[in-house]
Structures are given as structure tokens and as C-alpha cells.
Amino acid sequence: MYRIGAFSKLGKTTVKTLRHYDECGLLKPQMIDPQNGYRYYTTSQLLRLHDIVALRQMGFSLAQIAGIIDGHDDEQSLQARRAELAAEQQTATLRLMRMDNYLRERKEGLSMSYQAIIKELPGCTVFSARRKLGSYADLGTVMPAVGATVAAANPDLCCSEPEYCCIIFRDGEYRESDIDVEICQAVECCGKTLTPGEDFEFKELPATTVVSVLHRGPYSTIGAAYGYAYDWLERNGYTPADDPRESYIDGVWNCDSEADWLTELQIPVTHLPH
């Protein structure tokens, strides 16, 4: 047998840790001398200590370890911890990829213009209207006209809070002319029945994960934001899941200069990098 000091050296752990394992019932001494209180351990207990240390290094709590090495819930706990570690590894891989791209963009000066983030868009009820635009310039007349048509048919309609208005580009890509768009405005019925029209409907936009890029300036220069966003997707291992959206935060309605307009480009994605 070994006294606690020698056993701690043999097991490459501390006396304090062994005493703690004793107190919580995880590894009790083989014998305690009744006269002097010395704790004694055997070499067979070294195997149990190694199990404890191995499981601690996997991130298990002492309570979980007690259940595993005593055979109460070993498979369930091990599989659950493995799933946690796999998720942590995936998150770390994602963060490393983002860090590498951020450093590259800083070096190349790209991060001064744009920066991409992943965000979750909640599901919402919207009025939806498909339209063809000759160019981006048509937005200034088409969007207010759609809003007026919907409001005329639904005088009690309320915009959601926070307000969310977007255009979904049904061509699936950025185009400067002959643009197929779906105009959407998040609404609340306020207890009233929603009345669709001949050229608009009400629908549910499901919750979705998007890559978000902010563009400051006129719509005529937003093509650079699209180029940046899709390059970012490829570099970070994401796959587009649906048509891109634009959400208009600041524009002609509250800014004197086009240089101050703020548009959020949102591209739905399907999965995280492996």
C-alpha cells in the first residue's frame, strides 16, 4: 500500500485532489489508520484514478464520472459528451475560418468597406407582391404604390415591431435591369382578418439563418456588396439556401443624401462548415 503522498506522485495528481475525491466518495482510500489518520491506497486504485483523470480531461463533472465508472449511465453520458465536443469542434472551426478571413480582409483593406455576420431572422407574417423592375430606380415608386394598395384593402393593418421590409430577388442573383422581385413587409393583423388582393397576398416567411452584409450608399453601387457576400460564403464554407434579400434601413424617406442610405443584404444559408 501507498500513503497518500506517495500515491499522489504515482498517479501524477495532488494530495488535495485525492482528499477531495475521498470527500465526494469518488476514490476512497483502501484503508485509514485509526491511530494516526493516514490514508493508504493500493495499486489497483491507480486504475480507477486513471479513469477519473481521463474522464476529467474529457470535460465530465465529478458527479458524471461517478456514474460512468460505477456503471450507472456510462453509454448515455459518453455519447452526450461526445456530441457536445463535436459541436464545440464545429464552432471552433467556424470561428477559426472567420478569424482567418477577417485577418485577410484587414490586410487587403476589404473590412473597411464590408463585414459579414451570421444572424437568425425570426419567422413573420408579410404581405407579398411580385413585381418586375426596370432598374433599381423603380423602387422609389413601386414600393410606396404596393404599400398604398395593401393599406387600402386593409385599413386596420399594422406594421410589425421592429419593422421589417425586404425585397426578395427571385432571379436568384444580382441584376441591374429587368429585375424580378418579391416585395415583403412584416405585418400584424391586430385582430382583424387579412384581405388579399389581385396583385398581393399574405404569407408566412419562415425563420431562417442568413449571412448579413451592410451596404452604405446608393442602390446603384450595391453590386459590390453582393460580390463581397458571395465571396465570403465560399471562403467560409456556407451554401446559399434561397434567393437573396435586401432590407432597407435608411433611404430616401429619412436621408437627404444617397451616400447615407443603409441597406442590409441577407442571403439565406443551409448549413455551417464541417
d(CA 55, CA 76): 14
Which pLDDT band, with edges at 50, 70 and 90, does 111 fall under? low
Res 273 pLDDT > 70: no
Check: CB of residue 225 under 8 Å from CB of residue 262: no
Crossing angle for the helix pair 223-236 and 74-108, to the nearest 10 degrees: 140
Q: Which of 12, 45, 69 corresponds to the end of one domain? A: 69
* 110: confidence class by pLDDT, cuts 50, 70, 90: low
Give the least confident one: 61-65, 101-105, 265-269.
101-105
Are 9 and 85 found together in one domain?
Answer: no
- Assign 235 a pLDDT band (cuts: 50, 70, 90): confident
Q: Which helix (H) or strand (E) holds 91?
A: helix 74-108
pLDDT of residue 34: 86
- Do 225 and 162 lie in one domain? The reply is yes
Contact 167, 182 (CB under 8 A): yes
Percentage of the chain modeled with pLDDT above 90: 27
Q: Which of 186-190, 214-218, 240-244 bottoms out in mean pLDDT, i.e. has the lowest?
A: 186-190
Instruction: Give pLDDT, residue 173.
Output: 73
Q: Give rounded-to-5 percent helix, strand, coil for the chain.
A: 40, 25, 30
**How many structural domains does the chain have?**
3
Q: Is residue 219 in a domain?
A: yes
Query: Is 243 within the bounds of a domain?
Result: yes
Q: What is the mean pLDDT of the chain?
A: 85
CATH number, residue 49: 1.10.1660.10
259 and 131 within one domain: yes
Residues 6+ apart with CB under 8 A from 89: none
Same domain, 89 and 161: no
**Concatenated DSSP letters for 217-255?**
S-GGGTHHHHHHHHHHHHHHT--B-S--EEEEEE-TTT-
Q: At what angle do helices 62-69 and 43-57 cross, to 10 degrees?
A: 130
Cis ω before 196 (30° cut-off from 0): no
What number is the average pLDDT over the span 55-72?
85
H/E run at residue 116:
strand 116-121
Q: Which three cell numbers stand for residue 41?
A: 491506497
Contact yes or no for 31/37 (Cβ under 8 A): no
Domain that holds residue 252: 116-268
Contact criterion met (CB below 8 Å) for 4 and 20:
no
Residue 274 maps to a domain: no
Predicted local distance difference test score (pLDDT) of residue 246: 92
Cell triple for 243:
434567393
Q: Is 94 helix (H, G, I), strand (E, B) or coil?
A: helix
In the block, which residue shows the cell 388582393?
A: 197
| Residue that is written with C-alpha cell 426596370 in the block | 134
pLDDT digits (tens, 9 = 90+) for 72-109: 666 777 888 888 888 888 777 777 777 777 777 677 66
Same domain, 190 and 93: no
Identify whether 273 is part of a domain. Answer: no
